[in-house]
Amino acid sequence: MRIGIIGLGHVGLPTAAALASIGHDVAATDVDGEKIALLSDGRVPFYEPGLDELVTEGTAAGRLRFSQDPADVVPGAEVVFICVGTPPTAGGEASLAAMESAGETIARHATGSVVVVEKSTVPAGTAERLRAAIRRYRRDLEVLIVSNPEFLREGRAVEDSLRPDRILVGADAPEALATMRRVYEPLLELGARWIETDLRTAELAKHASNAFLALKISYANALARICELAGADVIDIAEVMGADPRIGPDFLRAGLGYGGFCFPKDLVAFERLADRLGYRFPLLAEIARINDEAIDAAFQKVESVLWNLEGKRVTLLGLAFKPGTDDIRFAPALTLARKLLDGGANVVGTDPQAGVPAKAEVPDLEVVEDPYDALSGAHCAVVCTEWPEYRALDLARVRRTMAFPVMVDARNVFEPMDMAAAGFTHLPTGRRPIEQAGT
Ligand code: UGA
């Protein structure tokens, strides 16, 4: 099928590459000319494991093309996916300006009837607005709107796009559903679950899913605080809870909280939507409050163990909002970095992928590539992102290079017994601390 993609970010690019990989003829556009130049040169503008290979495979096969000009992308496309950003406005609602302009682009360039797919995360009711906007720009265009929210995770975007657990399609017209089935047929054959519903339900299901995942994380983080007060172990509790199939083991990892460009903004946007519809949903704000508290808790551990932050060197292991990405948007590590800098500490950060963007975001942060160099002379280290590289650190070497052997383990990557044996003061999250005399 001829498919057009508008918007080549963390959702649009994997979607484009995956659709090409399952046999479609995909043309994709973005307003960012630099991004198009990189892609046309065979380079992926952000770090996402396996994505460069998938893009190269698609372009080499002649099934994936990039152009800044929508006239190369929209005309002749049977289906156009809108994958533009919906960043928060000052009031926290999702900004839909890019959605409208994508609608206008489609209206101006479509050459025949077209199925327009909303992939971006949007508030319920957006599809109707989008349809009206397209009609306003082009009254005669035959257009069917579909909501097809994306559930892919950064760092796993390739496998999530090629092997999704579910494909959610909301539409009012049966022809639109039939077209979407043809788009996804190869993935359905591989076992993806097909769920079809109406437009508003599909749109709302995405906010409902992300908010619930965030709720699980905040629940685990609140439990971690209680475990620290009670002298209990949050990892064991999560295992007990997770063994119940009604709860499930995923997303119960206590730590420094969630970040990224999805959960924080989607939670606020969902709350604003509920408000606008006339339902007060304070649970959503509480999830975000507990998430902020996780960063405060890590900060307090550093402060209480070091006594004075002034003149102390604190090393942050991991800056990206999670492993497997160079994305630092809403990264808890950077919020912690700013707090420590405000408190007078010298803050050093290291990350296998996100050093450069983190430095651009927090210029006072010293960024050092090698973790051992970053730890050299540190009075305290904080594990902010659970990259496998940190779990594999040679603890004896780390112990020797640090000024004080103090590890605030905000992602619970180290086993307390190993840390005790290596002579560290180990302050994990929701687990019993180990304090070494003299630190
Ligand atoms: C999230 C959802 O998982 C995707 O299904 C969704 O498609 C995407 O948002 C989106 O709306 O586009 P993503 O933001 O890539 O995906 O990241 P996650 O893997 O969900 O992790 C989010 C945050 O939660 C990370 O900061 C992670 O470190 C944190 N987390 C996750 C925890 O603190 N504890 C956990 O147990 C799990």
Q: What is the pLDDT of residues 72-83, one digit of tens each?
A: 999 999 999 999
Q: Closest residue (by CA) to atom 27 of ligand 1?
A: 258
- What average pLDDT does the chain have? 96
Q: Are residues 152 and 296 in the same domain?
A: no
Q: Strand 166-171 and strand 143-147: pairing? A: antiparallel
Same domain, 159 and 216: no
| Residue linked to tokens 């009031």 | 91
pLDDT of residue 309: 97
**Does ligand 1 lie within 6 Å of residue 265's CB atom?**
no
Residue 291: the pLDDT is 98
Q: pLDDT tens, 342-364?
A: 999 999 999 999 999 999 999 99
Of all protein residues, whose CA lies closest to atom 34 belonging to ligand 1?
253
Distance 153 CA to ligand 1 centre (A): 6
- Do 108 and 242 sit in the same domain of this protein? no
Buried b (16+ CB within 10 A) or exposed e, 122-159: bbbebbebbbebbeeebeebebbbbbbbbebbbbbbbe
Are residues 340 and 416 located together in one domain of the fold? yes
Same domain, 122 and 215: no
State the CATH number of the domain containing residue 300: 3.40.50.720
Residue 438 pLDDT more than 70? Answer: no
246 and 132 both lie in a single domain: no
User: Whole-angstrom Cα distance, residue 152 to residue 15?
Assistant: 9
Per-residue pLDDT band at 439 (split at 50, 70, 90): low
Residues 220 and 170 in one domain: no
Q: 386 CB under 6 A from ligand 1?
A: no
**Mean pLDDT, rounded, for 182-188:** 97
Atom of ligand 1 minimally distant from the CA of 149: 7
Give yes or no: residues 180 and 233 share one domain: no
- Residues 343 and 421 grouped into a single domain: yes
CA within 13 Å, CB half, 245: 0
Number of domains in the chain: 2
Range of the domain at 314: 198-439
- Please tell me whether residues 370 and 436 are part of one structural domain: yes
How far is the centre of ligand 1, averaged over its atoms, from the C-alpha of 263 (Å)?
Answer: 7
End position of a domain, from candidates 197, 221, 240: 197
Residue listed under structure tokens 């372009």: 59
pTM of the model: 0.95
| Phi, psi of 254, deg, nearest 5 | -75, 150
Helix (H, G, I), strand (E, B) or coil at 49: coil
Q: In this model, does residue 241 exceed pLDDT 80? A: yes
**Three-class DSSP labels, 161-219:** HHCCCEEEEEECCHHHHHHHHHHHHHHHHCCCEEEEECHHHHHHHHHHHHHHHHHHHHH
What is the rounded CA–CA span in Å between residue 215 and residue 120? 21
Q: Are 308 and 373 in contact (CB under 8 A)?
A: no
258 lines ligand 1 (CB under 6 A): yes
* Each residue's pLDDT tens digit, 362-381: 999 999 999 999 999 999 99
Q: Is residue 207 domain-shared with residue 77, that is, in the same domain?
A: no
pLDDT at position 437: 72
Which is the closest atom of ligand 1 to the Cα of 260? 14
> Does residue 111 register a pLDDT over 70?
yes
Closest C-alpha to 169, from 134, 143, 145, 136: 145
Catalytic residue set: 262
Are residues 336 and 319 part of one domain?
Answer: yes
Which of 150, 181, 197 delimits the end of a domain?
A: 197
Nearest-CA residue for atom 9 of ligand 1: 262
